[in-house]
Amino acid sequence: MSPKALKIALAASVALNLFAAAAVTTLVITRAQVENRVEAQHRPARAGSPMRLIDQLDPAVRERVRDTLRASALAARPDFEEARLKRRQAVEMGRSATFDTARAAALLEQSRTAELRGRARLEADAVALLATLEPDDRRALSEILTRRGRAAGRDRGGRPAHPAPSRGAPAA
């Protein structure tokens, strides 16, 4: 075999080996990602969801607790809707050609205030409800006071719920 053919064969062998190594690496990474997705689909959405917690209660109080929590959620709903609306308005302002920094900051502040008002209402109603329960039922239902979901640090898109302020912007 001539030296030129040997060099070509060696280069082809190296390229083939690099391609095989990349394929194996991609296969391993993809398989791990698929396994994580499958595992996430088999996990319950929320281990301590309020409805699952209510099912643990004494049947005599279960319906009263369910109705009370439902009424509390309905009462707090306008606050959370206002919070979402104000945040959407701030996002739209950020996309527009006429961006007003003060107005965007005010909209975000109003959004946070409305969300906190709704959360405070839910928490106050939950505490008042817990005060009416027997110790065993109270122990089972006390989990509703934990903060979960977006408030725990992530929104639906997988981004932090409260992103760090950009450089030069005052911290809220």
Give 56's pLDDT tier (boundaries 50, 70, 90): confident
| Contacts of 67 by beta carbon, 8 Å cutoff, 6+ apart | none
Query: Three-class SS of residue 81?
Result: helix
pLDDT at 89: 94
What is the greatest pairwise CA distance in the chain? Answer: 92
Tell whether the model's pLDDT for residue 17 goes beyond 90: yes
DSSP letter at 154 equals B
In the chain, pLDDT over 70 holds for what percent of residues? Answer: 81
Residue with tokens 């606050």: 79
d(CA 121, CA 131): 16
Convert the pLDDT of each residue in 102-161 to its tens digit.
999 999 999 999 999 999 999 999 999 999 988 888 888 888 888 654 444 444 444 444
Query: Which amino acid is residue 129, in one-letter code?
Result: L
pLDDT at 47: 52
Q: What is the pTM of this model?
A: 0.56
